[in-house]
Structure 1
Amino acid sequence: MQLYNLKDHEQQVSFVEAVKTGLGRNQGVFFPTHLAPLEDVDALLDLDFVTRSAKVLRHLLGDELSDETIAGMVEGAFTFPAPLVKVADNMHCLELFHGPTLAFKDFGGRFMAQCLAQFSQGEKVTILTATSGDTGAAVAHAFYGKENIDVVILYPEGKISLAQQKLFTTLGGNVHCYSVTGSFDDCQAMVKEAFLDDELKTRLGLNSANSINISRLLAQVCYYFEAVAQLPKAQRSKAHISVPSGNFGNVCAAMIAAVIGLPIQKLSATTNQNDTVPRFLASKQWQPNDTLESLSNAMDVSRPNNWPRVQTMLDNGDFSYGDFFSHAVDEQTTQSAMKELNEMGYLAEPHTAIAYEGLKADLADDHQGIFLATAHPAKFKESVDSILDMDLPMPQALAEALAKQCLAQPMSADYTQLREAMLNKLG
């Protein structure tokens, strides 16, 4: 598989190089030079999730890795289901929270861990990532205890739920966490600056594990095939998928799936009040505002790093602007959507409710709508309990994490502090 840097087209790398490098020159993200269509999607949709996922990834990666290697990595990563739950006559919810940290990022995080274990060959690796909520836990658990790999996680202090925070800040060992005074965008800016620091990159073997890394993105392509496979065969050609969108990696994966042949007719990238992309699509002006805090904190992103990948596919005509929707959902509407879903018999947290609300706005009567549940409702127990007037029971994994001590250290949004801390601890 050949990939190029969207900010420096002369930098072209293999998949293995892209995984190990993370971010390209000038802070550019890598993207495939070519996305070839699959030959027989119908036959693929009749396979089981793991077998199909290995074939999809084999198609994307070409001859770079053997069939056996890819199959082994998929089997080690995708050990939990992604069920499609019917909510209404032409509306379904794809539940992506059945992994160990109860969020969709378990798929990408665990596959990336399989990749780096395969590719690093015993070399020192330091995973540095920023999280707006669920990435931290997924990455921490995927790499926890792995030999020669350290994990450094930055998160905005007080701006992710306690359950999200405790899932990764309580592990210790090779997982090092810093609570940053600022927003997710501040955390992400520090991560990007670290990748411009050649000394730090060399000494620590720096890599990123958020959706900047192509391995996470390609892993996420697989569960869109699983979603469509669970629709009745007669309805598979009319899928409209709504993705709750912050950093835009998840909807980017959905678009890649569509480009290589999955019959996704329409895509909705639904945001919260951090509406940079909806405003861009309306005005063609890229004007990020300051990041606002919301109930859907994992989407509190004003400068989505994966938007260049999405825009590349749209500008190239790989996916039509006319079939791509992006609406902003405010706080009051988010709460109303949660209540509406609850009345329909489906319990959802704020991110899922936003995806549902975005789908409603554009879903045609003859299409099958699929909105994504990206996190277990209990990860946002405070909001769910308050909005829906209930006392949501805690899953065992969350209850155990909440009982443990937070080991994160405070840090200001200052790269020099991060650099010094990492070199002192890991260098």
Structure 2
Amino acid sequence: MRFYSTNSPQTTVSTEQALFHSLPADKGLYMPTHLPFLGPDFFSAIADQSLADIGFAISKALFSDEISKADLEELTHQAFPFATPVVDLEPGKTSVLELFHGPSLAFKDVGARYMAGLMSHYSKHSDKEVNILVATSGDTGGAVAMGFHNVPGVRVSILYPTGRVSELQEKQLTTLGGNIQAFEVDGSFDDCQAIVKQAFVDAELNAHLSLSSANSINIFRLIPQGFYYVSAYGQVQKYHKPVVFSTPSGNFGNLSAGAMVQKMGLPVAHFIAATNLNHVVPTYLETGVYSPKPSVTTISNAMDVGNPSNFVRLAHLYDDDYDQFKTNVSGYFFDDDETRAGMKRIHDQFGYVACPHTAIGIMGLQSYLNETQQDYVGVALATAHPSKFKPLVEEVLAQVVEVPERLEILAHRKKYSIVIPADYEAFKESFLQTI
């Protein structure tokens, strides 16, 4: 499989190059030159398949000319020992796709664990250490830290904005030790992301180090996230209705993953981009003008992204055609007061406890279904376990939220991080001292 840069489509690289180098030198983003089309027979036969089985089948279609089927089967089944179940709120109308049953209790476990397996596969034939740089607004860092912890030949540096992640999210980033190092940045997620992007085009660093990313700027974070859209479709096709997905969105990797499997033939009737006050994409869908802005801090912190990297990927997937983009995606956004009210209403109406991000996804879905008045089955992505936002959820719902044991054990561990200003040279100096 070959990958092109969004800034120079005529230049392509191999799977291994795109995986380990993450960003092209021209500062574009890698995209597959070709997505195989999986016909109706494929999607009609997946109702009873596990996430691992679906991941294996799609991986074969993508990579079987480079990686053996045996290796792909081992990779996908090791990456996905957990399920991504669809839970009905209103059977045949409104459902949630629970993506928090992995080790870090967030949807990003799927992409991080698949990436770790793929890197481990290729690293067996190399003696050069890979340095992974990650910017996180909340859940990415925890999923990457847990997915890559103690993976041989890999060191991970995670940059996160001070004071802008929940306490348990921070513990996931800062307590594992070993090959995981956290950098606490006095700034926003956008600052963290800018530092990571600058590192990838720093000639001095790249001359001596093998740098890669596990952010959604790396195409291999996104490809496996498409697997759970396919799994969800298989679980709701029993209703024999067109399917719409509502995706809580920040950096827009998750929605890009859905658009990729749509291009591969997944019968998606429509996508909903649901955001908080960082609503540059919903505004674009309304006005046709894309205007990134500094990020705004909200209670749904994992979506606090003012300049989403993956917008360019979505645009490419829809042929850089605004009308095609708007035909396939609708945008809704909600402020903090609306999010709190939505969390309470969802609990009162359905008895379902949703984190603020999941609540925004459900509210976006409900808004779209109410507006369209079409007979769809809607699936909102539940992106994180509510215990990751325990104080907020308990305050809003006035009830205790139980913390799963795999997260609770981190709560009492000591935090270790390197505090730096939002400055690339400061990061580079500190980073070089850690390797």
Normalized against structure 2, the TM-score is what?
Answer: 0.95
Q: Does 2:242 correspond to 1:233?
A: no
Matches within 5 A, 1:75-86: 75-86=77-88
Corresponding position of 1:367: 376
**Residues 320 and 158 of structure 1: is their aligned pair in 2 closer, same or farther, counting only changes over 3 Å?**
closer
Question: Are residues 1:181 and 2:183 paired?
Answer: no
Deviation track 1:274-297 (CA, whole Å, cap 9, x = no partner) reads 011111222222212221100100
Taking structure 1 as reference, are residues 280 and 81 closer, same or farther at Cα in structure 2, changes over 3 Å only?
A: same
What is the RMSD computed on CA atoms of the aligned residues?
Answer: 1.5
After TM superposition, give the deviation of residue 35 of structure 1 in Å.
2.0
1:28-427 to structure 2, matched below 5 A, reads 28-39=28-39, 40=41, 41-61=43-63, 63-89=65-91, 90-120=93-123, 121=125, 122-235=127-240, 237-315=241-319, 321-343=326-348, 344-363=350-369, 364-426=373-435
Q: d(CA) in 2 for partners of 1:116 and 1:193?
A: 22
**Aligned mates of 2:87, 2:97 — CA distance in 1:** 6
Q: Given residue 90 of structure 2, which amino acid in structure 1 is its aligned partner? A: A
Contact 2:50 2:83 in 1 (8 A): no
Once the two structures are superposed, what CA deviation does each residue of 1:212-260 show, in whole Å capped at 9, x if it has no partner? Answer: 111111110101111111114342x511000000000001111111111
Q: 1:319 offset after TM fit, Å?
A: 6.0
Report how far residue 11 of structure 1 moved.
Answer: 2.6
Corresponding letter in the other structure for 1:159 = R
Kept in 2, the 8 Å contact 1:313–1:319? The answer is no
SS at match of 1:326: strand
Please say if residues 241 and 267 of structure 1, whose CA atoms lie closer than 8 Å, have aligned partners that are also in contact: yes
**Paired residues of 2:46 and 2:231 also in contact (CA < 8 A):** no
Distance in 2, matches of 1:48 and 1:402, equals 32
For the 8 Å contact 2:250–2:302, the answer to whether it is kept is yes
**C-alpha contact 1:255 1:319 (8 A) present in aligned 2:** no
What is the CA–CA distance in structure 2 between the aligned matches of 1:200 and 1:402, rounded to whole Å? 35
Q: What is the identity percentage for the equivalent residue pairs of Structure 1 and Structure 2? A: 40
DSSP 3-state at the match of 1:23: coil
Q: CA deviation at 1:321?
A: 2.4
Match of 1:5 in 2: 5
Cα drift, residue 320 of structure 1: 5.1
1:82-105 Cα offsets, whole Å, 9 max, x none, are 010001131000000000000000
Distance 1:232 1:44, change over 3 A: closer
Check conservation: 2:243, 2:269, Cα contact below 8 A.
yes
**C-alpha offsets along residues 336-364 of structure 1, whole Å, 9 cap, x if unaligned?**
11011101111001000000111111124
1:250-275 Cα deviation digits (max 9, x unpaired): 01111111111111101001111001
The one-letter amino acid of 2:113's match is R
| Letter matched to residue 266 of structure 1 | H
Separation in structure 2 between the aligned mates of residue 422 and residue 232 of structure 1, nearest angstrom: 49
**Displacement after TM superposition at 1:26 (Å):** 2.4
Q: Distance in 2 between the 1:11 and 1:155 partners?
A: 33
Contact 2:86–2:96 (8 Å) recurs in 1: yes
Q: Which moved more, 1:318-327 or 1:239-248?
A: 318-327
In structure 2, C-alpha distance between the alignment counterparts of 1:70 and 1:213, rounded to whole Å: 19
> Which consecutive residues of structure 1, in runs of 5 or more, have no partner in the other structure?
none
Q: Is this contact kept in 2: 1:106–1:139, CA < 8 A?
A: yes
The superposition leaves residues 115-148 of structure 1 with CA deviations (integer Å, 9 ceiling, x where unpaired) of 1111123321000010000111111111111222
Tell me which stretches of 4 or more aligned residues in structure 1 moved more than 6 Å: none
Whole-angstrom distance in 1 between the partners of 2:320 and 2:261: 16
TM superposition shift of 1:54: 0.6
Contact 2:239 2:377 in 1 (8 A): no
| 326-335 vs 345-354, greater mean Cα deviation | 326-335
Residue type at the aligned position of 2:74: G
Matched to 1:351, the amino acid is H
Measure how far apart 1:202 and its partner are.
3.2
Which amino acid in structure 2 is aligned with residue 215 of structure 1? F
Contact persistence 1:259–1:319 (CA under 8 A): no
TM-aligned CA deviation for residue 182 of structure 1: 0.4
8 Å Cα contact 2:275-2:334 kept in structure 1: yes
Q: Which moved more, 1:314-323 or 1:204-213?
A: 314-323
Q: Distance in 2 between matches of 1:234 and 1:357?
A: 22
Given that residues 291 and 301 in structure 1 are in contact (C-alpha distance below 8 angstroms), is that contact kept between their aligned partners in structure 2?
yes
How many residue pairs are counted as aligned between the two chains?
Answer: 425
Q: Distance in 2 between matches of 1:93 and 1:168?
A: 27
| CA displacement at 1:62 relative to structure 2 | 5.1
Distance, in Å, in 2 between the alignment partners of 1:227 and 1:183 is: 33
Output the amino acid matched with 1:58.
K
Question: Do 2:294 and 2:307's aligned partners in 1 also have CA atoms closer than 8 Å?
Answer: no
TM-score normalised according to structure 1 size:
0.96
Aligned-partner Cα distance in 2 for 1:33–1:288:
27
Indicate conservation of the 8 Å contact 1:228/1:239, yes or no. Answer: yes
